[in-house]
Amino acid sequence: MATKVDNRTIAKIVALATEGKSDEEISKAIGICRKTLFNWRKNNPYLLHALKGAKVIADDIVEASLYHRACGYSHKAVKMFYDKDTGKVVKEEYIEHYPPDTTACIFWLKNRRKAEWRDTQDGNTVPEASNHQTILDEFKKVINDPKNERKA
C-alpha cells in the first residue's frame, strides 16, 4: 500500500481530475485503491486543494460548453474530399454552424433560474400571467389583424 504521495503522482492526479475523471477513475489510472487516494487527500492539504481546483476547472469547461451549446455557436472546420479531375485530395475550409440546442437551454435555465423554470409550482401560490404571455398575446393580435396582411 502506498503511504506517501510524491509530486510526480500529484501532478498526474491533478491532470486526470482536470480531464473530468472521478476519484475511482483516478485511483485506477495510478494503480491505487480509492481509500489510498482519500488518505492522501486527508494527509496532504496541497493535494486536497490541487484536486479540488482541478475539478473546478473541469466543471468550468463543461459549463462553458453547455452555454455554447445552449446559445449556438460557429467554428472553423476543414472538409476533405477527392477531386476526380485532378486525382488529388482537396482541403476546403468552411464555417460550421451549430444552432441553439433546446435541451441545453432548458437544462441551463432550470439550474440557473430555478424559480422561473421549475417543472412544478408549489401548492401555496397561483402562478401569475407572466409579462411574456402578455407580449405573446399582443403579438398574436397584431398578426391576426386583417389590416396587417401582406399584399402579394
pLDDT band for 126, please (50, 70, 90 cuts): very low
108-111 long-range contacts, CB within 8 A, separation 24+:
108/66, 108/67, 108/70
Calculate mean pLDDT across residues 28-53: 94
Question: What backbone torsions phi and psi does residue 90 show, to the nearest 5 degrees?
Answer: -115, 135
Give the pLDDT of residue 152: 38
Calculate mean pLDDT across residues 59-70: 92
CB-based burial, 18-52: b 16+ in 10 Å, e otherwise: beebebeebbeeeebeeebbebbbeeeeebeebbe
Give the pLDDT of residue 137: 67
Calculate mean pLDDT across residues 1-26: 90
Q: Where along the chain do its domains lie? A: 7-69, 74-120
Residue 7 CB contacts under 8 Å (≥ 6 apart), including other chains: none
Give the pLDDT of residue 139: 61
pLDDT band for 136, please (50, 70, 90 cuts): low
State the CB neighbour count (10 A cutoff) for residue 105.
Answer: 17
Pairwise pLDDT comparison (64 vs 2), residue with the higher score: 64
Give the pLDDT of residue 150: 46
